[in-house]
């Protein structure tokens, strides 16, 4: 990120209207990206729920839990922020009502409010504003981009809205800008863009004391000039402050669309800032992705074998990492979702489930449901030379599979299965020693960025081209140190370990086109301009020789 300039910090607040799921996080990340060449930007996300963080939430309901370098478990929008701005975000930047209330209750017990009745206003709103100011000061930011979760009108986000309304009076009209992202439907049968939901949602925002400066209309298509004029008339803003947010098959195109729509010029003018977008390489990569979606010259299919396949949002960063590889290699990467429950139940066999697949990912996961199905899929990849990348649980289960079928440890398993009442005789994967005493579930895993020492002369060393890399972790279990020698004798190469050499962090196999497992989550640090090397090699190896070309 950039060096801070000396002027007063600016604030951009992004709210959402009408319905959820419009891609507010991507819109916010795109705006930040457009302004980040000369300004130090800090993205802040405000979530309304009472959990301290999403770490204990089911990814099917909430989407992927994104893990930061500092160990924070945060909303998946931070994945967009980091990928679009290239920043390393911090746990503090994700406000939740759980965090806000926890601080207030602690202060109350400590006696910080002695004499006062502690109230929603001003105490909750003051706490929220003070959290904003602390972040901006600590980061020496030029601009804070505050995204308020949910849609305007939701009760649980009302205090954030009230806090930013008050913030406007404190920092002055010239230093804060409100962007409202709404929905412009095209009802079937009518076949024209409709502005009424936008009008209603802007009205709801006005009632809360906020007048948006810019409205982004999410729609299947570009907003027509007529519709922009109508929104301008009803919502009290200039026509060129109504921006189209059309559907796109490539989220990385959004900053380019916003720029074309004149958003940057409006932001510069309204906030008296100047930070021209830098999008040259980005634009070329986006053009490649789009070309490959419509007319690919080469393509491959990667299977993701997991439990949460019902909701693609639970694997958001994996999908992005594969998109990055496709852009870099100039190919189309198709995805196939394989539900390992089905393989476990025997409804489909691995050969059928993985037919025509170029490579397989077994992603992170928890619990024992579908585990035997994953192990069957891993065995099939190992025995049939299908390129394989096991991530976290995927690596642990690759070790279990190898122990059972190549090292003669027939009853090898992960101790995680014991939680389900199974008796595990040979726990080749066991709890990390420091995890044994822990009872609480929230933020108690081994979390965040750690160094991985790479063994020279291994595939990992050739791919990563470094003796040490930093990657992000989220786990309770590890390869049981008591079995390492036996596993190595049986043929597993542990090519990456923790600094103290105790925790095995990468495994690989010789004599296979590509069989790699990692205890960390490489998808979290993959970028459009710099795809993660483990993903890149999986995708490269998934191309059959004639498709590989040069
Ligand atoms: N359940 C495994 C563990 O806790 C793997 C976790 C993961 O895949 N993120 O170690």
Could you tell me the CATH number of the domain that includes residue 541?
3.40.50.880
Domain that residue 320 falls in: 283-548
Long-range contacts: 503-509, Cβ < 8 Å, 24+?
503/432, 503/478, 503/479, 504/478, 504/479, 505/450, 505/452, 505/471, 506/395, 506/452, 506/454, 506/460, 507/390, 507/395, 507/398, 507/399, 507/479, 508/458, 508/459, 508/460, 509/382, 509/402
Residue positions in the annotated binding site for CTP?
Answer: 20, 154-156, 194-199, 230
Q: Which two tokens mark 127?
A: 């706490």
CA 483 remoteness from chain centre: 34
CA of 520 to the centre of ligand 1 (A): 9
Ligand 1 centre from 51 Cα, in Å?
Answer: 21
Binding residues: 20-26, 77, 147, 154-156, 194-199, 230, 365, 393-396, 416, 476
Residue of minimum CA distance from atom 5 in ligand 1: 393
123 and 238 share one domain: yes
Closest CA to 265 of 238, 225, 301: 238
Residue 2 belongs to some domain of the structure: no
Residue 266 CA, chain-centre distance (Å), reads: 29
Ligand 1 neighbourhood includes 377 CB (under 6 angstroms): no
E strand map for 292-351: 299-306, 332-339
* Cβ(504)–Cβ(385) below 8 Å: no
User: Is residue 5 one of the residues assigned to a domain?
Assistant: no
**Domain identity same for 176 and 322:** no
Would the CB of 365 count as within 6 Å of ligand 1? yes
- Predicted confidence at residue 546, as pLDDT, reads 47
Last residue of a domain, one of 212, 245, 278: 278
Residue of 56, 371, 393 to mutate, ligand 1, most atoms within 8 A of C-beta: 393
- Helix runs in 172-272, H state only: 196-207, 225-235, 254-260, 263-271
What is the structure's pLDDT at 310?
61
Same domain? 273 vs 307: no
> For the chain, what is the domain count?
2
Is 3 part of any domain?
no
Asked if 127 and 53 sit in the same domain, the reply is yes
Assigned domain for 4 exists: no
Nearest 5°: the CA angle 264, 268, 269 is 115
Same domain assignment for residues 265 and 384: no
Q: Based on the domain organization, do 404 and 258 belong to the same domain?
A: no
In a domain, 433, yes or no: yes
Q: Which residues pair with 41 in a beta bridge?
A: 143
Atom of ligand 1 nearest to the CA of 363: 8
**pTM for this predicted structure:** 0.93
Kindly report the CATH number assigned to the domain that includes residue 60.
3.40.50.300
- DSSP letter at 309 equals T
Catalytic sites, residue numbers: 392, 521, 523
Residue ranges of the chain whose pLDDT lies below 70: 1-6, 308-311, 545-550
Looking at residue 308, what is its pLDDT? Answer: 59
Unique residue bearing structure tokens 């189209």: 244
477 lines ligand 1 (CB under 6 A): yes
Answer yes or no: is the C-beta of 366 below 6 A from any ligand 1 atom: yes
Is the CB–ligand 1 distance for residue 393 below 6 Å?
yes
Whether 1 is covered by a domain: the verdict is no
Among residues 278, 312, 327, the one where a domain terminates is 278
178 belongs to a structural domain: yes
> For position 2, what pLDDT does the model report?
52
Asked if residue 315 and residue 446 are part of one domain, the reply reads yes
pLDDT digits (tens, 9 = 90+) for 105-142: 999 999 999 889 999 999 999 999 999 999 999 999 99
Task: Please say whether the dihedral angle defined by the alpha carbons of residues 461, 464, 469 and 473, taken in this order, is positive or negative.
Answer: negative
Q: What is the pLDDT of residue 57?
A: 84
For the Cβ of 394 lying below 6 angstroms from any atom of ligand 1, the answer is no
Atom of ligand 1 nearest to the CA of 364: 8
Residues 345, 373 within the same domain = yes
User: Last residue of some domain: 247, 278, 309?
Assistant: 278
Q: Which two tokens stand for residue 143?
A: 């601009």
Whether residue 109 is found in the same domain as residue 139 = yes
Pocket test of ligand 1: the residue of 476, 478, 503 to mutate, having most ligand atoms within 8 Å of its CB, is: 476
Rounded CA-CA distance 380/300 in Å is 19
Give the Å distance between the CA of 1 and the centre of ligand 1. 32
301 and 210 in a common domain: no
381 and 244, same domain (yes or no): no
273 belongs to a structural domain: yes
Shared domain check, 333 and 429: yes
Residues of each annotated binding site for Mg(2+): 77, 147
């Amino acid at each position: 990120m950039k060096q801070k300039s000396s002027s007063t910090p600016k604030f951009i607040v992004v709210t959402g209207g009408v319905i959820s799921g419009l891609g507010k996080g991507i819109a916010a990340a795109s705006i930040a990206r457009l302004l980040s060449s000369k300004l130090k930007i800090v993205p802040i996300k405000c979530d309304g729920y009472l959990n301290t963080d999403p770490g204990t939430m089911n990814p099917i309901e909430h989407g992927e839990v994104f893990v930061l370098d500092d160990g924070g478990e945060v909303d998946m929008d931070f994945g967009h922020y980091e990928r679009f701005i290239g920043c390393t975000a911090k746990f503090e930047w994700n406000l939740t009502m759980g965090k806000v209330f926890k601080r207030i209750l602690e202060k109350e017990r400590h006696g910080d409010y002695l004499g006062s009745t502690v109230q929603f206003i001003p105490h909750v709103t003051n706490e929220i504003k003070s959290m904003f100011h602390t972040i901006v000061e600590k980061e020496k930011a030029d601009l804070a981009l505050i995204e308020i979760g949910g849609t305007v009108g939701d009760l649980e986000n009302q205090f954030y809205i009230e806090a930013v309304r008050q913030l406007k009076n404190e920092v002055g009209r010239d230093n804060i800008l409100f962007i409202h992202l709404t929905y412009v439907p095209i009802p079937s049968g009518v076949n024209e863009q409709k502005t009424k939901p936008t009008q209603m949602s802007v009205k709801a925002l006005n009632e809360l004391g906020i007048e948006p400066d810019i409205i982004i209309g999410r729609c299947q298509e570009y907003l027509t000039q007529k519709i922009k004029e109508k929104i301008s008339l009803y919502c009290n803003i200039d026509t060129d402050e109504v921006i189209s947010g059309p559907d796109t098959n490539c989220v990385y195109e959004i900053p380019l669309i916003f720029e074309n729509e004149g958003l940057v010029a409006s932001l510069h003018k309204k906030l008296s800032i100047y930070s021209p977008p830098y999008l040259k390489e980005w634009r070329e990569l986006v053009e490649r992705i789009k070309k490959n979606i419509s007319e690919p010259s080469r393509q491959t299919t990667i299977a993701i074998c997991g439990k949460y396949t019902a909701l693609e949002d639970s694997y958001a960063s994996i999908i992005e990492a594969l998109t990055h590889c496709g852009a870099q290699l100039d190919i189309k990467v198709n995805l196939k979702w394989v539900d390992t429950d089905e393989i476990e139940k025997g409804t489909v066999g691995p050969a059928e489930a993985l037919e025509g697949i170029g490579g397989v990912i077994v992603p992170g996961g928890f619990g024992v449901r579908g585990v035997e199905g994953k192990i069957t899929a891993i065995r099939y990849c190992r025995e049939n030379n299908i390129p394989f990348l096991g991530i976290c649980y995927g690596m642990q289960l690759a070790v279990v599979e190898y122990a059972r079928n190549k090292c003669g440890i027939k009853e090898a398993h992960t101790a995680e299965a014991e939680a389900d009442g199974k008796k595990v005789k040979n726990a080749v994967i066991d709890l990390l020693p420091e995890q044994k005493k822990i009872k609480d579930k929230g933020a108690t895993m081994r979390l965040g960025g750690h160094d991985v020492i790479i063994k020279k002369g291994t595939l990992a060393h050739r791919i990563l081209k470094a003796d040490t890399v930093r990657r992000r972790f989220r786990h309770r279990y590890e390869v049981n140190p008591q079995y390492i020698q036996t596993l190595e004798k049986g043929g597993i190469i542990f090519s990456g370990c923790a600094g103290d050499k105790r925790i095995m962090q990468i495994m690989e196999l010789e004599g296979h086109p590509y069989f790699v497992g990692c205890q960390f989550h490489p998808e979290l640090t993959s970028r459009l301009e710099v795809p993660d090397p483990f993903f890149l090699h999986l995708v490269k190896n998934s191309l059959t020789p004639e498709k590989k070309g040069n």
